[in-house]
Amino acid sequence: MTAPKDNISGKTGDPSKLSLGQDLGAKLKAFSKTLRDIMYGFTVHELDMEIRKERGSIDDLFMLVVFGDLVGLPLLPPYYSIRLVPYIIPTFNNWKRKILRERDLTEQMAADL
């Protein structure tokens, strides 16, 4: 049977027998991670969310141009769409559900606030 692994420090062995240095190191590591997360939230979290939203919009536009004929908007000849199918299949059902979902004006206004 193997010795239990400490979740914080990643060391194996009896948690009650960890040395003071290992315990202090683990707490310092947890504190530094918490501090990094707080600084990330203060500085770049909003920018990160905007970039992710913009990337999603660009992905939606690409999918609409390539597979628009499946939602009633043919733009590209089917030959080019067929060649891209293996790359698109994993995200296709989610994209189609997102594009065809009914939206309300208040949803768009809330997103801009």
Q: Where are the domains of the chain?
A: 50-112
What is the model's pLDDT at position 38? 94
pTM above 0.75, yes or no: no
Q: Quote the CA–CA distance of 6 and 25 in Å, as a whole number.
A: 13
In the chain, % of residues over pLDDT 90? 23
* Average confidence score pLDDT of the chain: 77
| 48-101 per-position pLDDT tens digit | 999 998 998 888 888 888 777 777 777 767 777 777 777 777 887 888 788 777
Helix (H, G, I), strand (E, B) or coil at 75: coil
Q: Place 44 in a pLDDT band, splitting at 50, 70 and 90.
A: very high
